Amino acid sequence: MLGRSQRPAARCVAACLWAAWALPAQPAKPQFQLTQGPFRPGGILEIYGRHLGPEPPCGQPLPWGPYPAEACGVRVTVGGISGILQFVSARLIRLFLPANLADGAAPVQVCVHHLCSEPVMARFASRAVVLQLQEPAYVHMPLWIAVDMPAPYRVVYPCHTDPWEFHGRGTGGLYDVDDYKIELRHKGTLLAEAPRPTIPAAAIDKSGCMSGFGFEDTPPFRLPLHLAYRIATPGDYEIRLTGSHGPDVLIQSAWTKIAIKPRPRAAHDAWLRAMAQKARSAGPRDPRPSALLSDVVPSLLAWPDEKALRILLPVYSYWLGRRRLLNGDIYVAGFLRNSLTAFGKLGEARFSPTNPPATPRTRPSHRAASHPTVQAP
């Protein structure tokens, strides 16, 4: 029990606590992170985070156009230049980037009234696509091209079940890339693409990109140059990547110089051992065979001989010998079945497709599929 001298102090403490509780909550500084760039000047940027707008919302609708540089007390600057707001909420801001941004890094900052976030650095590239040949690069061996491009564009390999097809992955919008084409020239002369193995149209599923395996969301994004061109002569070359939507070119890289070296025998043998180890590590029964689809199989198609086929035999035996495939397994088996055509008669001698597997026209369903019978090596 409190004495008389303690009661005024207790009443003061209670009054102070009540006043603190009754005060309105202080607004918090905006916080956000950006997805992987680079981003295209003049393009759309989406910012996800916390406290990006007034809470509760101000209820002020944004005009249909022209869009404002500030709405509900929210403004976004990129490199010190105001962006044009398209959508504003406490957790999402969508804006048009300034078209006159210089290539390189610049800070992005969100301000809500007088509170501003910490600047977040982002990369911007007006050229849209930057290519880099992954080392080492030898003739008759895999030649992977790392592709860096601004959002929302990106390449996904593999996309469909055709290993020789390069495709974009988007949301079905008018500005999605339908097709990516790699051009190659040597001493100023454009080179012809290598002939592709014949794959029946019914064996290629184009209902959408394969997903759920992990490779489609993990940078760096890359394309297999060795599946588009057979480079047998060492030397200096130039490559260019073009992304198109129907007849319209949406993005294009500059011509990029690459150097292809002669293939040392030791390097080839070491590469085969590494591929064999990767194939064993991935395992034919891997529930998420991302390494098989995005690395092991397309890499070994650079030189599809007896040694490469021997490495893939356990993979082919398991996937192409299964009688019942569910969900994404259908696409894995389809990709592997189509990749087997690269080995020609050598592959036919090992696998006898007496019952060609059916390819679904829609998304995979829980139904049985007929597959080639595996013969003993």
Beta pairing, strands 179-186 & 167-168: unpaired
**Domains within the chain, CATH numbers bracketed:** 31-124 (2.60.40.10), 130-260 (2.60.40), 265-374 (no CATH)
Q: Give 261's DSSP letter.
A: B
Residues 294 and 215 sit within 8 Å (Cβ to Cβ): yes
Q: What is the pLDDT of residues 311-365, one digit of tens each?
A: 999 888 888 887 787 777 888 888 999 999 999 888 777 765 444 433 433 333 3
**Most distant CA pair in the chain, distance:** 103
Res 360: pLDDT: 38
Q: Coil, strand or helix: which one is 187?
A: coil
Which range has the worst mean pLDDT, 20-34, 73-87, 274-288, 325-339? 20-34
Q: Nearest-CA neighbor of 88 among 55, 41, 65?
A: 55
In the predicted model, what is the mean pLDDT of residues 283-310? 84
Q: How far is CA 243 from the centre of its chain?
A: 14
Q: At 366, list the tokens.
A: 């829980």
Closest alpha carbon to 30 in 55, 5, 7: 55
190-241 pLDDT, tens digit each: 999 999 888 877 666 665 677 666 555 555 688 999 999 999 999 999 999 9
**Cβ-based neighbour number of residue 35 at 10 Å:** 12
| Phi, psi (rounded to 5 degrees) for 253 | -85, 170
pLDDT confidence of residue 80: 94
Contacts of 214 (CB under 8 A, 6+ apart): 288, 290
Task: Identify whether the C-beta of residue 371 lies closer than 8 Å to the C-beta of residue 333.
Answer: yes
Quick: pLDDT tens for 146-191.
988 776 677 788 888 889 988 655 444 444 677 888 999 999 999 9
pLDDT per residue as tens digits for the range 127-143? 667 889 998 899 999 99
Of 265, 258, 274, the closest CA to residue 226 belongs to 258
- Collapsing DSSP states into helix, strand and coil, what is residue 306? helix
At residue 65, the pLDDT reads 66
216/258: higher pLDDT? 258
Q: Hey, which residues does 106 pair with through a beta bridge?
A: 122
In the 3-class helix/strand/coil scheme, how is 62-128 assigned residue by residue?
CCCCCCCCEECCEEEEECCEECEEEEECCCEEEEECCCCCCCEEEEEEEEECCEECCCEEEEECCCC
pLDDT tens per residue across span 40-90: 888 888 899 999 988 777 767 777 668 899 998 999 999 999 999 988 999
pLDDT recorded at residue 368: 31
Residue 350 to residue 173: CA distance in whole angstroms = 43
